[in-house]
Amino acid sequence: MTLNATDLDYINDRLKNDIKSIYQEPYDEIKDHIITVIEVARENGDNRNIAFVFDELLETHFKGYRTFEKIIKEYPLTYYKKITRLHWANIKYYLNWKTILLITLFVITGFYLPQNKITFLALIIGLIATAFMPAIYFFYQSKILIIKTDKGKSSIVKLSMQSMSTLLIFIGIILNGICQIARIFHFFNPVFHPVVYILLLSCFVIYGLSSMRLCRQEFKIAS
């Protein structure tokens, strides 16, 4: 049984005052659960004022507002654990025996590449393009799928996907900084063997593909 506008307004007002979360997703999950339970109660003939039904639900299903606080507190950590498992599963999905064989062939080829500016420039351009690939994909997807959030709330799905998608850019900046420092203080030759760049490029590609796949998975769930 679909709740009427009065019941929905009451639920929204209560939850906005009682759920102190900066993230939209746990708020929506609690709200959906409450609406579902009250709809079942209405179907079973409970036509009492929504305030009484809500208070009873709060005690029987959530044991008071402390459960709300517990859910809100644990939700980010639970979500991060979930997407970390998914991300590793995606990496394993792409890092199959065919990929390993292909990387091995590229590494062997790298030993025969000329160590000149053209080779290094091509590899560095490949690294830069690969580093930006998941970030560009995320921003494209985020424009297509608009996750609705209330005023003052953020989407933990969107923030998490943004962090994972831009990680390669930060890694590239750090690696470049290390090379520049090494150049200044002459710690080592800042120009690595092409094989090093090929291995880095392989890792970047696998991570980038895994991140984009995770982005599709999570945005599909969020929609």
DSSP result, 33-62: HHHHHHHHHHHTT--S-HHHHHHHHHHHHS
Q: Which pLDDT tens digit goes with each residue over 161-219? A: 999 999 999 998 888 777 767 666 655 555 678 898 999 999 999 999 999 999 988 88
Q: Tokens for 62?
A: 């959530």
- Per-residue pLDDT for 94 more than 80? yes
Show the CA angle centred on residue 93, arms to residues 192 and 105, nearest 5°: 40
Average pLDDT over residues 115-131: 89
Q: Which pLDDT tens digit goes with each residue over 135-145? A: 999 988 887 77
Q: How far is CA 172 from the centre of its chain?
A: 20
List the one residue out of 28, 132, 141, 20 whose CA is nearest residue 11.
28
Strand partners, 23: 154
Q: Tokens for 98?
A: 């065919």
- Residue 27's contacts (CB-CB under 8 Å, 6 or more residues apart) are 15, 19, 21, 150, 153
Q: Which pLDDT tens digit goes with each residue over 24-72? A: 888 888 888 888 888 888 888 878 888 888 888 877 777 766 777 788 8
